[in-house]
Structure 1
Amino acid sequence: MIIAPRLRNWLTGPLLMTGLLAASALQAQSTLSMSSAYGSGTLMGERAKEFSQKVAEQSQGTLAISPRSDIPAESNLQAATNGVIDIAATLSGTLANEIPFFGLSSLPSVAQDLDEAHRLYLTAKPRYRELLKEQNQRLLFALPWPPSGLWSKEPIDDADDMAGLPIRTYDRNTQRVLLNLGANPHILSWAKLSPLLEDGSIHAALTSAMGGVSAELYRYMPNFTTLNYAMPLNIVHMNADSFNALDKQQQTALLSAAEAIEDAGWAATSKILAETHVTLQAEGARLISPAPADLLRDFEKASQHVTDSWKQKVSHQDRALLQQYLDSRPEK
């Protein structure tokens, strides 16, 4: 069949244009690497997955996120600063090793419930942004881990029960508190904790109910005491050069996805906490709530120097910010 030149042009013109547009879209597609220590079965692992999906959706497929798990959490700050990775999800206490102000959310008893933790975050958010900017990074979003409590092989009533206790913790602040209580604390990632649970060398863990359920701590430590000790943040931060290299549509999509995940994540935490308490009891764990008064008193006494130490490490501006938040708290 012979096609007339005009008809051939009419047919091939749109096809050619479609091909050019597809090629243009393909060329505009970008992939960002994101480092996280949390697997898909964890709360923050699920949030990272949702974030990736939101980014792809908001950018209409021109922006993708590729997860990486080969970078240790303690290296995330430098890796993101130097452009080794584009995005990192890092526990606030780990960031505090390099930038002390990030230890704010894990200060003991500063935020006594999720509403207070959110107000504290909003108060500190501009300062988080400023400090990350100094590291050639930008804050994308932050979400709270549910309140830290105490998983243990045996019920713990006071500091005497913690003497010499081999216990897993997540940052230096809590390590110092546990040392003051006479325990034997170790800062351990979940990957490093697993074999120690199997061989029985760790007898307790300071983490959230959610963290314990995800790691199946109830198989080794069937008691969970609700201390409401602290609600550390998971900070998602990004190399500024990587962000600036994106086109405007991709930047808008990324920030829109980050905002949506942050809003939804904070709103869902209370429901998740209640569901977790039901789950841990269904798995045979004992929920101890409220915590014994003597244990709370001993934790408060052991924690005071952590707050004092934090104040010595940060600037006058940072201390004033904490005091501003404390002054705004309703009477309990």
Structure 2
Amino acid sequence: MTMTSFRGLSAALAAAMFALPAAAASWDMPTPYGDSVFHTQNIQTFAEDVASATDGEVEITVHSAGSLFAHPEIKDSVRRGLAPIGEVLMSRLANEDPVFAIDSIPFLASSYEEAQALWEASRPVVEERLAEQGLTLLFAVPWPGQSLYTQAEVAQASDLEGASFRAYNAATERLAQLMGAVPTQIETGDIPTAFATGRVDAMITSPSTGVSSQAWDFTSHYTDTQAWLPKNMVIVNTQAFEGLPEEQRTAIMDAAAEAETRGWEMSREETESGIATLEENGMAINEPSEALSQEMAEIGETMTEEWLEEAGEAGQEIVDTYQGAE
């Protein structure tokens, strides 16, 4: 081969290399919950939508049930770039900034309509706080309203006095304290074992978690308090996201918007089917008594006041915007 031919071949190879499409982004995504949970199912569909919209150039592999990173580690794993994308319960970040606890204040927003209005009022501030840590919010989806699971009927808050009460964030810890119970941090996957071993006696959680943990095996009463609708957020490392071509970023954001809309509807459906499943499996479904409703409302007012003291001006603006939209 002559030098001229070699140079010609090299140039052709170089041109061919640059003509190849950019290497596909292969993202591992840790999530806290199992495959049977609607949040995970929604995220699986989101991943499929992203792959389809980017012609396979962005592939998201979902690692559910804490199999890649445990729930408490997910946010920092995304922030540090150990995983480019992940899902986390928003109120888990409340110790970093009280804004993240806005959706876990009892009875501030206790219906889907109210929760949607509260999210619209708080989303810009949440996005701002995440951006300060190099994170971008993609979408957020609520759990069904939080209700009480106990081994005996609860007619008033004093019925829970001294009981070991499952907590999963700062708000549920405070709620337990105000009811006279003893908060105990228990992850979702550990709920059945915690009840079986006597580590906890009661919990407040969604119908979804009640069904996935088969709560009828260790509790007998469901009191439909619908206290609040906490959200899971899907977040992405901003540097990783901005490293993608613009058309891929647009495709991801479009898929995220669809996932949020779809997820809220799935959550509504989950509420109805979850309560029905609990009842089918022998749990007593109770409406809260007038005394319990009044006590819980008073606890909610106390927790709202405490939250506003912590959240300051930003928190007051969110509440004012939300209440003005009601």
Question: Pick from 166, 188, 191: which aligns with 1:190?
Answer: 188
Could you tell me whether the CA contact under 8 Å between 1:170 and 1:207 is conserved in 2? Answer: no
Q: Which residue matches 2:217? A: 219
Question: Pick from 26, 31, 46: which aligns with 1:51?
Answer: 46
- What is the alpha-carbon distance in structure 2 between the residues aligned to residue 228 and residue 259 of structure 1? 26
Q: Which residue matches 2:311? A: 314
**Partner of 1:234: helix, strand, or coil?**
strand
CA drift of 1:104 comes to 0.3
Matched, 1:293 2:265: no
Kindly report which structure 2 residues correspond to 1:1-332, keeping only aligned pairs within 5 A, or say none.
24-25=20-21, 27-68=22-63, 69=66, 70-288=68-286, 290-329=287-326
CA drift of 1:268 comes to 3.1
- What is the alpha-carbon distance in structure 1 between the residues aligned to residue 182 and residue 297 of structure 2? 18
CA drift of 1:207 comes to 0.1
CA deviations 1:33-73 (Å, max 9, x no partner) are 21211110112121221211111111111111123433232
- What is the alpha-carbon distance in structure 2 between the residues aligned to residue 254 and residue 31 of structure 1? 14
- What is the alpha-carbon distance in structure 2 between the residues aligned to residue 291 and residue 281 of structure 1? 16
Could you tell me whether the CA contact under 8 Å between 1:169 and 1:207 is conserved in 2? Answer: no
CA deviations 1:247-269 (Å, max 9, x no partner) are 22221221111111101111232
TM-score (norm 1): 0.88
> Which one is further off, 113-122 or 39-48?
39-48
CA deviations 1:204-254 (Å, max 9, x no partner) are 111011110111111111211110111111011111001011122221221
Q: Which amino acid in structure 2 is aligned with residue 292 of structure 1? A: S
- What is the alpha-carbon distance in structure 1 between the residues aligned to residue 301 and residue 266 of structure 2? 31
Could you tell me whether the CA contact under 8 Å between 2:162 and 2:180 is conserved in 1? Answer: yes
Could you tell me whether the CA contact under 8 Å between 1:118 and 1:266 is conserved in 2? Answer: no
- What is the alpha-carbon distance in structure 1 between the residues aligned to residue 41 and residue 132 of structure 2? 29
- What is the alpha-carbon distance in structure 2 between the residues aligned to residue 145 and residue 284 of structure 1? 23
CA deviations 1:154-211 (Å, max 9, x no partner) are 1111022101111212211121121111111212111333321232432211101111
- What is the alpha-carbon distance in structure 2 between the residues aligned to residue 24 and residue 187 of structure 1? 51
CA deviations 1:76-121 (Å, max 9, x no partner) are 3322222122112111110112121010011111112101101111
> Which one is further off, 116-125 or 66-75?
66-75
Q: Which residue matches 1:5? A: none
CA drift of 1:316 comes to 0.6
Percent identity of equivalent pairs: 25
Q: Which residue matches 1:11? A: none
Could you tell me whether the CA contact under 8 Å between 2:53 and 2:251 is conserved in 1? Answer: yes
Paired residues, number: 310
CA drift of 1:279 comes to 1.3
CA deviations 1:3-37 (Å, max 9, x no partner) are xxxxxxxxxxxxxxxxx79x934x52111121211
Q: CA RMSD in A?
A: 2.1
* Structure 1: runs of 5 or more not aligned: 1-19
Could you tell me whether the CA contact under 8 Å between 1:144 and 1:231 is conserved in 2? Answer: yes
* Structure 2: runs of 5 or more not aligned: 1-15
Could you tell me whether the CA contact under 8 Å between 2:38 and 2:266 is conserved in 1? Answer: no
> Which one is further off, 218-227 or 316-325?
316-325
**Partner of 1:314: helix, strand, or coil?**
helix
Q: Which runs of 4+ in 1 moved over 4 A?
A: none
- What is the alpha-carbon distance in structure 1 between the residues aligned to residue 205 and residue 25 of structure 2? 36
